[in-house]
Structure 1
């Protein structure tokens, strides 16, 4: 009976994968010809950060659809039937790469085989400058948007990729990229000014998962995440106790929740600190793997970054 159940589960998983693959190819062949007739590129993006960037560069010369919304964790995201349809109809797909969208890699590979242009924005960067993953040999930290310099490079790369797909609008894409890069340069200057108000000894950032290492490297913060690079990795009791001891030893004033990670992870850390007769406050919620609501200031990359830095600096002072 047990053997039958195991075999049944295996067959079910195999059939589910087969159905997904057939759906993927079926949607491609049936929907690819149903292109919009307005002459614009049909663009699909994954995370909200990438969607915001591509909107700034593509402007009204593209039709854009983002797969993920506010608060969505890209590490755990699975493609729905609707997502597959969007991807199958795309002229070009922009995604993070570096295993950020771990469960979508297989889908992107299939799209690439069907002559749909897929672009990992991380390809714009020199890999020798990236932060290596301690957990996965040969892989890199995918949270590259927390270095504004990287985002500037990626903006230019996106303009180049859109221009390659639509040469007639190359000047338009380049002009938009130039304007957005100017805004990002101002953002970087403003962030540095705000951060400089926080003494160096107080620049210790403790968050739910290890998403802020590029931020720490760029702006000189010591960054510690309770979970690893991917939220698929659960923090154990020993991890919590070890980090609680670190907080007490370093006299860390505040720790931070992330919008795309359950609050309970940081609350358990706060409780562990309190159990040792010490206090640490929750300094606020930071946007890590997703932007805020689309109709809010934090729903843009620039607004998100300014909000995060202000929240961090005000809580740690």
Structure 2
């Protein structure tokens, strides 16, 4: 009887342990809000997801806190943008060689990326503003998670297919909205060069006051040069970015006014971060639609 009881206890213990191991979720950490939203759509309930950056956070300048290091240390997979977007986190990643760090930019053919002689990586890192690139990133995340949790591969693939359909619908919707804006009025002036992929995809001329990285400040000559451009091209509105201090755009507006002209601030665009969690703009799709509506309405 005693041997039977011990045997049953061993069976129960083993079963509970096995069930825990089977049901244990993958710990996934993401850097930017755009990547967090993407991985959430694919991983859904099958992963424990923690994002490092919140709304309004500039990834170019972001430094890891002690809490972030703890999250990263306990992660099974770390998804980040790459292309030096999270420049100050690279050193932290390098110290975690035992962790699986995955740059979504690796899903892209670098020969198709926008280069820059002014930026350390020589590539524009703002890849999320090309919806076709984000589709490739979606497939990349599906593949990565499927390899990590093979038994959930079908679910990840289904989630990926659903999300790709949403991205197709978004692209169609944005094209229709942008088509209402005459081509000669499609000049987008923002705080820094975050929208070049957007401009390439939707036929906008994009001019940023700062360079690709917000780590570089705009100088007086930059402001003067851009104000002259605005006047010459009769640009109706310029835009603040949620993750960049608005003082540079306000200085640009003042410079235009000092020359006897007026330009309005057309609104705040989401560039390097999504809106607040729980809002429409807190999702990639909602952010993109909001941005396009704001741009088109201000420039008409």
Q: TM-score, normalised by structure 2?
A: 0.92
Q: Displacement of 1:215 after TM fit? A: 0.2
Q: Which residue does the alignment assign to 1:186?
A: 169
Q: Displacement of 1:52 after TM fit? A: 0.2
Distance of 1:252 and 1:168 partners within structure 2:
54
Q: 2:108 aligns with which of 115, 122, 125?
A: 125
Q: Which residue does the alignment assign to 1:9?
A: none
Q: 1:80 aligns with which of 44, 60, 65?
A: 65
Show CA shifts across 1:141-163 (max 9, x none).
00000000000110000000011
Distance of 2:264 and 2:120 partners within structure 1:
35
Residues 167-178 of structure 1 correspond to what in structure 2 (within 5 A)? Answer: 167-178=150-161
Distance of 1:295 and 1:169 partners within structure 2:
27
Q: Displacement of 1:136 after TM fit? A: 3.2
1:218 maps onto 2:218 in alignment: no
Gaps of 5+ in 1: 1-35
Distance of 2:278 and 2:113 partners within structure 1:
32
The structure that has the greater radius of gyration is 2
Q: Which residue does the alignment assign to 1:22?
A: none
Show CA shifts across 1:66-109 (max 9, x none).
00000000000000000000000000000000000000001112
Gaps of 5+ in 2: 1-19
1:151 maps onto 2:131 in alignment: no
What SS is found at the alignment partner of 1:131? coil
Q: 1:139 aligns with which of 119, 122, 127?
A: 122
The count of residues paired between Structure 1 and Structure 2 equals 280
Q: Contact between 2:119 and 2:212, CA under 8 Å: does it hold in 1?
A: no
Q: Displacement of 1:138 after TM fit? A: 5.5
1:109 maps onto 2:86 in alignment: no
Q: 1:205 aligns with which of 172, 176, 188?
A: 188
Q: Displacement of 1:137 after TM fit? A: 6.5
Q: Which residue does the alignment assign to 2:219?
A: 236
Q: TM-score, normalised by structure 1?
A: 0.87
Show CA shifts across 1:244-269 (max 9, x none).
00000000000000000001110000
Distance of 1:281 and 1:138 partners within structure 2:
34
1:298 maps onto 2:287 in alignment: no
4+ residue segments displaced more than 3 Å: none
